[in-house]
């Protein structure tokens, strides 16, 4: 009898704990046909070339993913929570829950706000995606995001930062919101081998913040951050980002806009130089019955002359148009078409990113010579659960 009562008591305690906790599995499965083309020109001969590719791809509208999140009520207004989110490649099934590199955090929240630890989105990325009608997904992704995430800039902490400590303001501040983030570089400092390039390095450290105000139809936010990309005896390279974004929902149409400045700073024994990438975006969404029309124009001007590059400052422009038809709250069909135009002087020898010309993710195609233009389209289906 005593054992039975003990078992019943244990079940009661377990039931109480379960009532105070919640765990949710969620995800997105997105697949579609994607076409990408890239046209380039030989700087010496003037001859042009074009490469094209058609694929069955994923993440044309929303990023395919699977995740688990949970919250425990600790009482007294405190709550503990976790979030584990993994990317999946449902087009070929090659990538499943192998890493939680989209997000892996644990946090404590209350009246003071939220303290969050782990791998998370950076504050400076949020404006690039929140104020983009295409949400930085698929062929419609704005070129501000393409430049920031390019291999030429090599800003590894552009979208997310690992080993981060984040603080978020509480949600009851009359529409005012904000966050701060510090990402540890986790390199080893040594007093006995300070003359080696791999020692006493701050490479990988990110510091950033974002503050905004959302009230009714208006949402406006500013963010700033700095990532130390390289830190050796010969070179310290820092990527500094400042951007301002806003949206206003008039009902029949919602307008979006963003201004962005990115500086790639080089500190050497010979002096300090920097490259600048200044861009802006304007966009709109228009609800039409069960559907949504999306449109955006984005551009970035390169100024790489400070590093000894010759030629006129190049400029990349992108126009994107799309339509989403919602079959239900969780399932949607989508179509997107986008056109990129690169304008750069014939003498330009800088690092105009291939990511701008060749499409997105693994769907891109290569090019040789000077990038000129590209076209992309996506037709697909997205299901969320």
Nearest Cα to 222, choosing from 114, 130, 297?
130
Identify the residue whose tokens are 């974002």. Answer: 210
pLDDT at 221 over 90: yes
- Each residue's pLDDT tens digit, 327-382: 999 999 999 999 998 876 555 555 554 446 666 767 777 777 777 888 999 999 99
Computed on alpha carbons and rounded to an integer, the radius of gyration of the chain in Å comes to 24
- Each residue's pLDDT tens digit, 228-269: 999 988 999 999 999 999 999 999 999 999 999 999 999 998
Q: What is the pTM of this model?
A: 0.88
Q: Tokens representing 144?
A: 């501000």
More confident position, 151 or 358: 151
Q: Which H or E element spans position 11?
A: helix 2-19
Q: What is the maximum span of the chain, computed from C-alpha positions, in angstroms?
A: 94
Phi/psi of residue 146, each to 5°?
A: -65, -40
């Amino acid at each position: 009898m005593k054992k039975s009562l003990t078992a019943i008591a244990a079940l009661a305690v377990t039931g109480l704990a379960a009532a105070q906790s919640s765990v949710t599995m969620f995800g997105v499965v997105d697949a579609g046909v994607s076409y990408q083309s890239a046209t380039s020109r030989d700087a010496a001969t003037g001859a042009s070339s074009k490469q094209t590719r058609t694929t069955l791809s994923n993440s044309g509208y929303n990023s395919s993913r699977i995740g688990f999140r949970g919250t425990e009520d600790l009482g007294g207004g405190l709550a503990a929570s976790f979030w584990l989110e993994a990317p999946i490649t449902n087009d070929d099934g090659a990538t499943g829950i192998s890493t939680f590199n989209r997000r892996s955090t644990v946090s404590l929240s209350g009246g003071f706000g939220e303290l969050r630890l782990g791998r998370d989105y950076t504050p400076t990325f949020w404006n690039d995606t929140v104020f983009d009608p295409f949400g930085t997904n698929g062929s419609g992704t704005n070129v501000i995001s393409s430049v920031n995430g390019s291999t030429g800039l090599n800003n590894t902490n552009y979208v997310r930062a690992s080993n981060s400590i984040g603080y978020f303001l509480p949600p009851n501040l009359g529409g005012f919101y904000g966050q701060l983030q510090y990402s540890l570089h986790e390199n080893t400092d040594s007093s006995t081998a300070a003359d080696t390039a791999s020692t006493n390095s701050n490479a990988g450290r990110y510091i950033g913040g974002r503050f905004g105000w959302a009230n009714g139809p208006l949402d406006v936010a500013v963010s700033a951050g700095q990532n130390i990309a390289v830190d050796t005896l010969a070179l310290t390279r820092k990527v500094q980002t400042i951007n301002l974004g806003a949206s206003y929902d008039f009902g029949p149409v919602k307008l979006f806009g963003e201004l962005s400045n990115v500086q790639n700073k080089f500190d050497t024994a010979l002096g300090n130089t920097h490259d600048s990438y200044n861009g802006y975006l304007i966009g709109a969404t228009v609800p039409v019955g069960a559907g949504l029309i999306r449109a955006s124009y984005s551009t970035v001007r390169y100024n790489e002359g400070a590093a000894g590059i010759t030629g006129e400052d190049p400029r990349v422009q992108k126009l994107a148009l799309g339509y989403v038809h919602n079959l239900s709250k969780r399932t949607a069909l989508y179509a997107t078409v986008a056109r990129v135009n690169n304008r750069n002087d014939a003498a330009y020898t800088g690092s105009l990113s291939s990511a701008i010309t060749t499409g997105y993710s693994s769907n891109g195609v290569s090019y040789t010579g000077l990038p000129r233009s590209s076209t992309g389209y996506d037709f697909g289906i997205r299901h969320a659960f």
